[in-house]
Structure 1
């Protein structure tokens, strides 16, 4: 029996889902939840059985959810849980999962308090908005004046009354750490990539290993202990389809962030059976 799946994620994920899922009896249809208009009495959305994944814009997601009344692989609560970087790190730390040393700052806060919070870190310190993605707004600073300059900009942005999140993180910088995006599906490791900046980018002073910022993602055969670490993170957060970002140095491995709306990479970066496992999760979710 064919199952109809609504996909709200970016173009590359949608394209990569089409053929493998069609071969397994799941018809994929795109669902655009943003940058459009909705007739609220008749939103004209496709008839589907299950969604993948809940829209990133929660206001539009509420309209879509009301119109479709379908279960989601990674529903609204999963998206909210993963988006809050500070809460993710707090949950993981409380469960004994290693994370970077991090302080959350809730604005407004005066310069003296920010400076005092930064003193616990050896410079440089990473300044990170709490709920952005793709490395947006993340900065690395080596002195107090630079830190306060960055936080001044955050104060300006977060002072707007409609801004829902008025927090940011101060986080230890782990030089020379290897950066992995690990995919966990229904509690099991299904593949990983190492994200690395090209040599010329590093020579220009770039340091963020986000693909959006020019890093290259190469499929890797991850060590068992790192696989287990990513699976532990997904278990603590109770998210079925999760990208887990690991930073690995010579003597530590930590969970840096998670993403409940990760891009599906090319098939060569996944373990055998990935598409069968995803199909099973989609059918189980649709049956809920």
Structure 2
């Protein structure tokens, strides 16, 4: 039986264990995070044929790779490529993929330069850290003073040497846009959800449609333009498993970001044959590593 390792356990493991086991694939938890691990003596990690997603903590992921001698479906380079929102948007825009109007700020910058950048947007604008997930640290700013209030906090954070990513984005705000997450496996769309906050939350002024912020994710059948856009993004990013966030308003359809370590959702939100494609991808990744 093929053994696949998951460095992140939580929801994904519970959802994929049964369907993959019925296809001859065993799911194992592999981690050295928040543990003491010998690099020179024997370890207690289970034998693994292939890892799913390289860990978000890069040094620990390197240790796992070396100790287990395994390939990853989404490896170190794929994770880093998608983690940087700025790099993702730059790559996509260069390839002709529609993205929101965006400016990247590499701290420290002069407030006059920041004000000039803000003036290129029709307020409000969105400010977001370059490397966070789940909507963390994403704010809407309406005028320069509120922008400077946020960036003053970022300046303090970025003073610490351990803060490696000192970039953030200013991005156009698409009012009323649908928030669609499309999942692509090996170049093909396998499912999509629309994320939406409850009406009460929206009426109170909340606007971020992240599931971790209280939004619900409803399975949808994506339109053909959304499918083609998502598959083009996966091609440009060259990442086998990719979650793609698309904002769709009455005026435009754009890719806001990607996620190379997406949570695998409930099977009902994917198309027929999802787990067959999943199992094939795991086996093919393993096969290629042994050639």
After TM superposition, is the score higher than 0.5?
yes
Normalising to structure 2: TM-score of the pair? 0.97
In the TM superposition, 1:60-209 aligns within 5 A as: 60-209=60-209
Task: Give the whole-Å Cα distance in 2 for the aligned partners of 1:277 and 1:61.
Answer: 25
* Displacement of 1:110: 1.4
* Displacement of 1:38: 1.4
Please give the per-residue CA displacement for 1:253-279, whole angstroms capped at 9, x wherever unaligned.
100000000001101100000000000
* Displacement of 1:84: 0.5
Please give the per-residue CA displacement for 1:144-176, whole angstroms capped at 9, x wherever unaligned.
100000011111111111111000000000000
Q: Which residue number corresponds to residue 29 of structure 2? A: 30
Q: Which residue number corresponds to residue 264 of structure 1? A: 264
**Partner SS, residue 92 of structure 1:** helix
Task: Give the whole-Å Cα distance in 1 for the aligned partners of 2:211 and 2:243.
Answer: 14
**Partner SS, residue 171 of structure 1:** strand
Q: Which residue number corresponds to residue 14 of structure 2? A: 15
Please give the per-residue CA displacement for 1:170-222, whole angstroms capped at 9, x wherever unaligned.
00000000000000000000000000000111122111011010000000011
Moved more, 257-266 or 37-46: 37-46
CA 1:186–1:112 in 2, change beyond 3 Å: closer, same or farther? same
Q: Which residue number corresponds to residue 240 of structure 1? A: 240
Task: Give the whole-Å Cα distance in 2 for the aligned partners of 1:234 and 1:186.
Answer: 8
Q: Is the 8 A contact 1:79 1:260 kept in 2?
A: yes
Please give the per-residue CA displacement for 1:213-269, whole angstroms capped at 9, x wherever unaligned.
000000001101101100100000000000000000012110000000000110110
Q: Is the 8 A contact 1:33 1:55 kept in 2?
A: no
Q: Is the 8 A contact 1:10 1:263 kept in 2?
A: no
Q: Is the 8 A contact 1:190 1:271 kept in 2?
A: yes
Please give the per-residue CA displacement for 1:42-61, whole angstroms capped at 9, x wherever unaligned.
33211010001100100111
Task: Give the whole-Å Cα distance in 1 for the aligned partners of 2:9 and 2:140.
Answer: 29
* Displacement of 1:35: 2.0
* Displacement of 1:10: 3.6
Please give the per-residue CA displacement for 1:67-107, whole angstroms capped at 9, x wherever unaligned.
01101010000000000000000000000000000000000
Normalising to structure 1: TM-score of the pair? 0.98
Q: Which residue number corresponds to residue 51 of structure 1? A: 51
Q: Is the 8 A contact 2:31 2:64 kept in 1?
A: no
* Displacement of 1:34: 1.7
Moved more, 27-36 or 277-286: 27-36
Structure 1 gap segments, 5+ residues each: none
> How many residue pairs align between the two structures?
287
Task: Give the whole-Å Cα distance in 2 for the aligned partners of 1:43 and 1:80.
Answer: 27
**Partner SS, residue 268 of structure 1:** helix
**Partner SS, residue 135 of structure 1:** coil
Moved more, 253-262 or 37-46: 37-46
Task: Give the whole-Å Cα distance in 2 for the aligned partners of 1:33 and 1:196.
Answer: 36
